[in-house]
Amino acid sequence: MGKEARTEFRKLTTADAESAAELDLKCFGIKDACSCEYFLQSARDEQKEFLVGERDGKIIACAGAEINSDTAEIESLAVDPEYRRQGIATILLIKLLGAVKERGATFILLEVRPSNKAAIELYKGFGFQIVEREENYYSDEAAWIMARDFS
């Protein structure tokens, strides 16, 4: 019987920037993907908490948030399409929410495309609620602003 591959979760490092950018491009396309420079800066930025999921030496998931005082904003959550529907996004979100809470955040928000039903359902499952619609947020679509209070 074969051994099932495990996903290891850890902090993003500068060495992960190129792989994280490639993953983002694969998940979000050229219009919405974050650059390698963005991930390099995020790995170095004290106000950011970024995590990756790695399997067999390959970055298959990445999520991050910026923390300002008691408020955090999820900036990205991506799982390689080949590895979706395995609970990776759920584990990654649990770990990210725990990390931002540990750093003092009591309120967290994010933006998501209204067409991204899977992400919306994931976030709702974690207690996020749609609080606002931001027109023209993306180049071709509005965004739902979702938020959750930890208190």
Q: Is 138 marked active-site?
A: no
**Which member of 75, 111, 137, 138 is catalytic?**
111
Active-site residue 37, yes or no? no
Quote the strand ranges of 36-142, DSSP E: 48-55, 58-68, 71-79, 107-112, 129-134
The contacts of residue 25 (CB under 8 Å, 6+ apart) are 33
Q: Fill in the amino acid letter for 50.
A: F
Which residue, 85, 15, 4, is CA-closest to 50? 15
Catalytic positions: 111, 123
